[in-house]
């Protein structure tokens, strides 16, 4: 049985994951409208993954005798200015999600809820991957600068990151 403050903290993370899905969906739509097919595919997949992260938490809370709450979400931004800015925002958001996961892990340790602590280790590892991927993407974008040919190749290559991740079952 979940303690009330652990349940509340998990419900907070459910909202964070749902909000992340919405943010990446908005980013994907923006990229698609700009003709950035690879970037949009990458972000649509990323949005789906965040929703799956949310559902995993929902099921966990309910299985442990709590009640997972689906809350209202804030409307995400719809204009990201440039693909460079979009990925900078994505990276900053992943850092924020990592901080939220760390705060949640801290609550489980304070409450000596080792089952939930163990469950959350998947999220801790996932966030390490998410941040590393976002940082790698930013490094590539910095190499490109404002080169249109570089953008074309980046858009093509990021589509491959999404396809490779789907094929291997890994997270993008």
Contact criterion met (CB below 8 Å) for 61 and 7: yes
- Report the greatest alpha carbon distance in the chain: 56
Q: 3-state class of 27 per DSSP?
A: helix
What residues form the annotated binding site for Fe cation? 17, 50, 53, 94, 127
Residues annotated within a binding site:
17, 50, 53, 94, 127
CA distance 46 to 54: 13
- 20 vs 25: CA distance, rounded Å: 8
For the residues of 99-148, what is the DSSP string, one character each? Answer: HHHHHHHHHHHHTT-HHHHHHHHHHHHHHHHHHHHHHHHHHHHHHHTT-H
Q: Would you say how long the chain is, in residues?
A: 172
């Amino acid at each position: 049985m979940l303690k009330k403050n652990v349940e509340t903290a998990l419900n907070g993370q459910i909202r964070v994951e749902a909000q992340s899905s919405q943010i990446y969906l908005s980013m994907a739509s923006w990229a698609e409208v700009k003709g950035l097919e690879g970037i949009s595919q990458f972000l649509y997949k990323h949005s789906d993954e965040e929703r799956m992260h949310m559902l995993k938490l929902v099921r966990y809370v309910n299985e442990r005798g709590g009640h997972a709450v689906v809350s209202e979400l804030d409307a995400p931004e719809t204009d990201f200015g440039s693909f460079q800015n979009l990925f900078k925002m994505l990276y900053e958001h992943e850092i924020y999600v990592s901080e939220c996961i760390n705060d949640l892990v801290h609550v489980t340790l304070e409450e000596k809820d080792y089952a939930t602590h163990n469950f959350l280790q998947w999220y801790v590892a996932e966030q390490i991957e998410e941040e590393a991927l976002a940082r790698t993407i930013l490094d590539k974008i910095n190499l490109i600068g404002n080169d249109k040919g570089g953008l074309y190749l980046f858009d093509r290559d990021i589509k491959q990151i999404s396809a490779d991740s789907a094929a291997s079952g890994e997270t993008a």
